[in-house]
């Protein structure tokens, strides 16, 4: 969802940086980018590793939420290029699809509402629906099960290294539509690399 369907990552990063600054800490752009695709539990671990065990997470979370909601209440959340084209093609060709995210369901549905697309996904698999988050395969395996499909017949579309690792662990073919820079590890894991979801809709349309 984040970075692939919705342009939320920059809103998270800005809110985290504002909250950290208000508490007397600094988070670099590079550090925030490195959190892309990670579960909240792993993000928490990364924060304490970088800023120390004394970093006040109990104050950081509500403060960052306040900054984040102030931004999205004012500006909403942008939908990534090509999403509507892709979903239109999938519906026309009667290809089932599911939104699979490392975010808890409450947060995922909130983001979809801010983007005005909460009704576009009948199937949603979230962090709190499975035992382990990405890069474990659980989320994608549960998504395939929700679709009534074998995972090998599914196409996983991802924007992050963590997501690509989860796809590999699930033995699924992956398409990378990067939201950040692509490193060598991502290139090796991705089955196909595309610029945006519009390119994917053209490929699906041609099948």
| Rounded Cα–Cα distance for residues 199 and 109 (Å) | 26
Q: What is the pLDDT of residues 110-164, one digit of tens each?
A: 999 999 999 999 999 999 999 999 999 999 999 999 999 999 999 999 999 999 9
Give the residue among 182, 171, 178 at the shortest CA–CA distance from 199: 178
Question: Residue 127: what pLDDT?
Answer: 94
Question: Residue 35: what pLDDT?
Answer: 83
CATH class of 83-205: alpha beta
| Secondary structure letter of residue 80 according to DSSP | P
| Rounded Cα–Cα distance for residues 5 and 83 (Å) | 6
Q: Following CA atoms 196, 198, 201, 203 in sequence, which dihedral angle do they give, to the nearest 10 degrees?
A: -70
Rounded average pLDDT over 177-194: 93
Q: What is the pLDDT of residues 89-120, one digit of tens each?
A: 999 999 999 999 999 999 999 999 999 999 99
Q: What is the pLDDT of residues 35-64, one digit of tens each?
A: 877 777 888 899 999 999 999 999 999 999
């Amino acid at each position: 969802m984040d970075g692939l369907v919705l342009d939320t990552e920059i809103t998270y990063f800005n809110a985290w940086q504002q909250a950290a600054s208000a508490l007397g800490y600094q988070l670099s752009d590079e550090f925030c980018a490195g959190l892309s695709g990670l579960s909240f539990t792993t993000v928490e671990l990364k924060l304490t590793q970088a800023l120390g065990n004394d970093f006040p997470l109990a104050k950081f979370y509500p403060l960052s939420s306040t900054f984040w909601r102030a931004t999205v209440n004012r500006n909403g959340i942008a939908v990534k290029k090509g999403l509507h084209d892709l979903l239109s093609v999938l519906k026309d060709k009667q290809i089932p699809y599911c939104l699979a995210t490392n975010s808890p369901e409450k947060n995922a549905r909130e983001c979809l509402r801010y983007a005005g697309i909460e009704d576009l996904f009948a199937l949603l698999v979230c962090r709190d629906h499975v035992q382990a988050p990405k890069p474990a395969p659980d989320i994608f395996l549960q998504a395939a099960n929700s679709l009534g499909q074998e995972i090998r017949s599914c196409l996983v579309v991802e924007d992050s290294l963590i997501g690509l690792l989860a796809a590999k662990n699930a033995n699924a073919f992956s398409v990378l539509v990067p939201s950040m820079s692509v490193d060598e590890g991502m290139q090796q894991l991705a089955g196909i690399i595309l610029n945006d979801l519009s390119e994917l809709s053209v490929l699906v349309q041609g099948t």
